[in-house]
Structure 1
Amino acid sequence: MTSGFWKRNQQTLAPALFLAPGLLFFAFYVLFPILQSFQISLYEWDGLSPAQPVGLQNYRQLFDDPAFYTSLWNNLLWLVLYLLAIPAGLAIALFLNQTVTGIRIYKSLFFFPFVVSQVVVGLVFTWFYDPTFGLLNTLLGAVGMDPVNILGDPSKVTYGIIAAGLWPQTAYCMILYLTGLNSVDPEQVEAGRLDGAKGLRMLWHVILPQLRPATFICFVVTIIGALRSFDLISIMTQGGPFGSSRVLAFYMFEVALSEYGFRMGYGAAIAVVLFGIMMIYIAGFLWKMYRDERGA
């Protein structure tokens, strides 16, 4: 009986059985913590004593918290400027896709930031920005300009950290686009040439439509990377100076697990806001891609 049922439904059950372990891990390690964050955000809890329900009080406090608005504004800066990694990665991928002398050396140099730890990236850029012996001020002094303290200036520090993050993120987007360029249909490229397309017209009308899957992955990964930016800020500034480089992920860590007294409920509320922003951006991009696919 069981053998007959399996034979009749093998094509349906086999994929489900292969997907089941991954779905279970996803539910346990992703969906369950998300739902638990929503629940904890409705409580006042220090992680040890019994949790006290406070309703939406944690969310109300966010609206009166200047540090939250600073973190939110910095996250918006990260979202906008971090997206520069996508066109930069595409440009480098187009260059590396050519047949030129020494292309393997160029590929190795551009690939290098991708394999470097974020901690190493943070340390390297901290030394690079150092106002006393950093390479940046050495170069500025060579052209007669005054030294600048990027990480010590509240108006510049966020831009300096974003620039550090763009280095490995651009390399990641470059790898995705290089993979996508290997699957570009040469017949479509040849047809475009016969129609007189070249340069930017060829790129816009022939190459980029075939790179939509790579663009989608680049977009989603870049947005997630911008919103969960934590390690670079922790290594380079610890949220300073005066809290001016905080983002929501780092502020969540501070209020939940650091000097603010283990306010798990308030930290969970920040996490819920961060999750909502992420879903808005990703859902909007998915909807745009769906409309473009239907139009095509």
Structure 2
Amino acid sequence: MTALPHPAPPPATVPRARRSRRQLTPWLFLAPGLLMFSVYVIIPIFQSIWVSFHDWDGLGAMRWIGLANYSELWWDEAFYTSLKNNIIWLALYLLAVPAGLMIALFLNQTVRGIRIYKSLFFFPFVISQVVVGLIFSWFYAPGFGLFYALIEWVTGTGVALLADERYVTYGIIAAGLWPQIAYCMILYLTGLNAVAPDQIEAARLDGAKGWRMLWHVVLPQLRPATFIAVVVTVIGALRSFDLVSIMTSGGPFGSSRVLSYYMYEQALSEYGYRMGYGAAIAVVLFGIMMIFISGFIWKMWRDEKGA
């Protein structure tokens, strides 16, 4: 006796099942990353906002004080000094983007010894920020620092850059620009490898060269690399903690503080472990970051939609 064949499923069932699997599969791959992002990013953000409404030393019980931490920030001169320094960091740090582009265009040429040049420009990116801070601290050091000796040779009087309230922030920014330019250079080198050669040839046949070629043909194709470079540079400028801590510890007299370092001082140093006040500074810093990053994302989405 032969077994009867199973009835075939309805025609609409198979496509619907396949469609469900196709919709579910990407979420299965994204699930581990989304879980880690939620645990280590999203939840801490809301916890910081919650802590900013409390008076807390990090160990004892939290005491609800509402907006008192933010009210204190409004009258805190050290907070405004840190905010001003962050704005200076942001304005000057963005120079890393065009500088990285120019170096990438140079390194993209096929000339003799180009691998050596690439290694030299790539070197700042692979060393630690702590090492960068120490190198520039010695570079600026009074008496034996190369920068000090050079200024003394040119003007007759050396400048202790890291001990001068007028120049200390600019000296630290110069140290930060060294590895940041290398990072932007790497992004643009990767983007230049994806530039369509047929468009370059077509532009050459139309007589485009030099600046016109760069502006109308190359830069539009480097838009994704530019977006990443700008976002990463903005984030790096606003969370500039390492170099300030290594080179000056916020001095002299707090003149080189930035918001991230001031947050650390208030929450985890000799100021009494004011976790709530430090969290309020962190929330302000996060809000500034979100304003800039949201603006860049909206502009890129608008440009892509228009294209």
| Aligned residue identity for 1:62 | L
- After superposition, what is the alpha-carbon deviation per residue over 1:174-212, rounded to whole angstroms, capped at 9, x for unaligned? 000000000000011111111111101100000000000
Q: Which residue matches 1:119?
A: 130
- After superposition, what is the alpha-carbon deviation per residue over 1:69-104, rounded to whole angstroms, capped at 9, x for unaligned? 000000001111000000000000000000111100
Superposed displacement of residue 8, structure 1: 5.1
Q: Which one of 153, 156, 169 corresponds to residue 167 of structure 2?
A: 156
Q: Which residue matches 2:240?
A: 229
| Aligned residue identity for 1:268 | A
Preserved contact between residue 151 and residue 158 of structure 2 (Cα < 8 Å): yes
Q: Which one of 20, 44, 47 corresponds to residue 55 of structure 2?
A: 44
| Aligned residue identity for 1:275 | F
Q: Which one of 140, 147, 172 corresponds to residue 158 of structure 2?
A: 147
Task: State the distance in 2 between where 1:249 and 1:12 align.
Answer: 41
SS for the counterpart of 1:143 is helix
Preserved contact between residue 54 and residue 62 of structure 2 (Cα < 8 Å): yes
- After superposition, what is the alpha-carbon deviation per residue over 1:38-74, rounded to whole angstroms, capped at 9, x for unaligned? 0000000001111000111100000110000000000
- After superposition, what is the alpha-carbon deviation per residue over 1:100-126, rounded to whole angstroms, capped at 9, x for unaligned? 111000000000000010000000000
Superposed displacement of residue 137, structure 1: 1.7
Q: Which residue matches 1:22?
A: 33
Q: Which one of 78, 82, 85 corresponds to residue 74 of structure 1?
A: 85
Task: State the distance in 1 between where 2:39 and 2:15 align.
Answer: 33
Equivalent runs, 1:1-296 vs 2, <5 Å: 7=18, 9-296=20-307
Superposed displacement of residue 138, structure 1: 1.9
Superposed displacement of residue 28, structure 1: 0.3
RMSD: 1.4
Preserved contact between residue 152 and residue 159 of structure 2 (Cα < 8 Å): no
Task: State the distance in 1 between where 2:189 and 2:40 align.
Answer: 31
What 5-or-longer segments of structure 1 have no aligned partner? none
| Aligned residue identity for 1:111 | F
Task: State the distance in 1 between where 2:294 and 2:19 align.
Answer: 38
| Aligned residue identity for 1:286 | I
Task: State the distance in 2 between where 1:7 and 1:216 align.
Answer: 36
| Aligned residue identity for 2:289 | M
Runs of 4+ aligned structure 1 residues displaced above 3 Å come to: 3-8, 141-145
| Aligned residue identity for 2:71 | R
Task: State the distance in 2 between where 1:123 and 1:164 align.
Answer: 10
Once structures 1 and 2 are overlaid, which stretch shifts more, 282-291 or 108-117? 282-291
What 5-or-longer segments of structure 2 have no aligned partner? 1-13
SS for the counterpart of 2:270 is coil
Superposed displacement of residue 166, structure 1: 0.2
Q: Percent identity?
A: 71
SS for the counterpart of 1:161 is helix
Task: State the distance in 2 between where 1:89 and 1:144 align.
Answer: 31
Equivalenced residues, count: 294
Q: TM-score, normalised by structure 2?
A: 0.93
Which structure would you say has the larger Rg?
2
Preserved contact between residue 55 and residue 65 of structure 2 (Cα < 8 Å): yes
- After superposition, what is the alpha-carbon deviation per residue over 1:9-29, rounded to whole angstroms, capped at 9, x for unaligned? 221111111100000000000
Preserved contact between residue 93 and residue 237 of structure 2 (Cα < 8 Å): yes
Superposed displacement of residue 292, structure 1: 2.1
| Aligned residue identity for 2:240 | S
